[in-house]
Amino acid sequence: MIKNFIVLLFLFGLGMIFSALLLGYTPDSELNLTGRYYAEHTAQDLGAANIVTAIIVTYRGLDTLGEVTVLFLTAAIVGMLLSTGAGKGKSLQRKLSQSGELLTTGSHLLVPLILLLGAYVFINGHLTPGGGFQGGAIIASAILLILLTDPLYRFSHQLISIVESISGLIFLALGVLGIFFAGGFLDNRILPVGELGSLFSAGAIPIIYSLVGLKVGAEFSSMLVNFSETEDS
């Protein structure tokens, strides 16, 4: 009880800081310097209709590279954590009841569609809301569905890790090309900027975002697969 009280006391302090932040906050009525620059320059400089995508893939591309790496690391570490250890094969033998016909058929029907939707979302990331992370997550949800249907289904780790690595390497390579053929690392203008709003526009952004989509999808899948394999009998 005393501990809870102490926690409350300190959280009250934190609440004071937050309320000071809240009270001191005046919403902008105009875009600030940075936001204005993006609003005014993104279209002509990078040719991306979705400004957020332009920021993510190009202006703050280094962050995105880091983000992809976060997932890469997480997938690798989860793999390391769960593939080693004494628990392997010793966990209790659980009798898994057979998935229902409805679920099995439904998932066979849905999985290709979900994969398609995922691909659509990341390919069109520079035009519409969405992008590599969203698309990747959608792809992974297809994998999740398969695993829900058949918990003992085994994916090829090698395949997942090859997809992951190749897409990551190409992402990096495209970034490096920017140093030599455009303004710097991760500059998307190594390819023609094209016409605003069309699929083949915004230079390398659609390619990079598709790669991110593949990579994220592979990484999420890898984590899911690793977690599901702890159910090993």
Partner 1 sequence: MVNAIFIIVIGLGTAFLLGLLRETWRHTAYAVMLAALAVMAWIAVRWLLFFAVDGAAPVDILTAGTAPPFAINLRLGITEAVLMVLVIVCGLLSAVYMKESLLRLGRRAMSVLLVFIMALCGIIMTRDLFNLFVFFELVVIATAGLILLSENKQALTAGFKYLIISQMVSIFLLIGIIFTYHTTGTLNIDGMAGTSADMLKGAGSLAFFLMLMAVLIEAKPFPANGWALDIYESAHPAFSALFSAAMAGAAAVYAVDKLLLITGPEWLPAVTAIGLISFVAANLLALAQSSDRRTLGYSSVGQVGLILVVIGQRDILGDQYLYIAGGILLSHAIAKAGLYWISGLLSQRDLTAWSALRGHPLLIFAFISFIAMLSGLPPFPSFYAKWELFMALAVEGRLWIMGFILFGALLEASYLFRWFGYILKRETAEEHKDAQILSLAPHKLVVILTAVVVGWGLAYVWGEISVYSNLLYALPLLFALSFVLLDWLPAWIKNTVVIAGMVAYFVVTYPLYDPLQLIFAVIFLLGGAVIFLASYHAHGRRIGFYPSAMLMFAGLSMLIVAEDSFHFFAAWEFLTIGSYFLIIRGKHSEPHALSYLVFSLGGAFLILAGFVVAAQGVQLFNLESLSQVAAPLAPWVFLLLAIGFMTKTAVMGLHIWLPGAHAEAETDVSPMVSGILLKAGLFGIMILLMNMGKQQLYGVELTYIMLWIGALSAFLGNLMAAFQEDAKRLLAYSSIGQMGYALFGLALMNQLGWMMAMMFVINHYIYKSMLFLSVGGVAKRTGTREMYQMGGLIALMPLSFIAVLIGIIAVSGVPPLSGFGGRWIFYNAIMSSEYRLPMILIFLSGPIAFLYLFRLIHTIFLGQLKDEHRKLKEAPFWILLPQMIYVAALMVFALVPGLALRKVDAYLNPFFTDHGLNWEGLTITSDYGYWSPVSIMIVIAVIFGVLFAWLLFVNRKAQKVKQFNIVYSAERPFRPETTHFAWNFYAPYRKAMGFLMQPLVTRFWAAVTDLLHTLADLVRRFYTGNGQTYAIQLLAFVIIVYLFKMEF
Partner 2 sequence: MVTIAMLTGFILILMGLYGALTNHNILRMIVSFSVANTGVNIVLVAVGYIHGRTAPILNEAVPAAEAAARIIDPVPQALVLTAIVIGLGITTLMLAYAYKLYEMKGSLDISKFSELKW
Binding residues (CB under 8 A) for partner 2: these are 3-4, 7-8, 11, 14-15, 18-19, 21-22, 25, 27-32, 34-36, 38-40, 42-44, 49-52, 55-56, 60, 63-64, 66-67, 70-71, 73-74, 77-78, 81-82, 85-87, 127-129, 131, 133, 196-197, 216, 223, 226-227, 230
E strand or H helix at 52: helix 51-54
Q: Which of 60, 55, 82 is nearest to 157 (CA)?
A: 82
Residue closer to partner 2 by CB (options 18, 181) is 18
What is the three-class DSSP state of 211?
helix
- Partner from partner 1, partner 2, none binding residue 104, C-beta < 5-8 Å depending on class: none
Q: Which of 200, 167, 173, 169 is nearest to 186 (CA)?
A: 173
Query: Are the beta carbons of 75 and 100 closer than 8 angstroms?
Result: no
Query: What whole-number distance in Å separates Cα of residue 82 and Cα of residue 229?
Result: 8
Query: What whole-number distance in Å separates Cα of residue 90 and Cα of residue 206?
Result: 46
69 near partner 1 (CB under 8 A): yes
Instruction: Work out how close the CB of 172 gets to partner 2 at its nearest, in angstroms, rounded to a whole number.
Output: 18
Q: Which of 134, 120, 165 is nearest to 56 (CA)?
A: 134
Interface with partner 1 by CB under 8 A: which residues?
Answer: 3, 6-7, 10-11, 13-14, 17-18, 20-21, 23-25, 28, 32-35, 37-38, 41, 45, 58-63, 65-67, 69-70, 72-74, 76-77, 79-81, 84, 158, 161-162, 164-166, 168-169, 172-173, 175-176, 178-179, 182-189
